[in-house]
Amino acid sequence: MKRRKSRMSRFERGFYIVTALIVLMSPLMIVFEKSTLSEVNYEVEKMKREIATQEKANESLEMKINELASLENIQKVIEDEGLVYNNDNIKNID
């Protein structure tokens, strides 16, 4: 019995194996990357919604602060507490 010599060298065989692995793994890597990108985009949109909600809450609180700090409200609190608003007692400092 004669042994047949391989027509491909080790280098060629290795090259073909590596090439086949690259060809087979490329679609899987693309799907994995698209999945990761989709997940990141979902998180970005979620954060944008949270930011918008928080901005609305901040705006509402700012309006409440302005309402409570209004002159009419301060005068009402003064009257409720039995104090008198006397403009003559106010001193301006330059």
2, part of any domain: no
**pLDDT tens for the chain, residues 1 to 94:** 566 666 778 889 999 999 999 999 999 999 999 999 999 999 999 999 999 999 999 999 999 999 888 888 888 888 888 887 677 777 878 7
39, part of any domain: yes
20, part of any domain: yes
Domain enclosing residue 29, as ranges: 11-82
5, part of any domain: no
pTM of the model: 0.55
Distance from chain centroid for Cα 20: 40
Is residue 61 within 8 Å of residue 71, measured between CB atoms? no
Q: What is the domain count for the chain? A: 1
Alpha-carbon gap, residue 68 to 61, rounded angstroms: 10
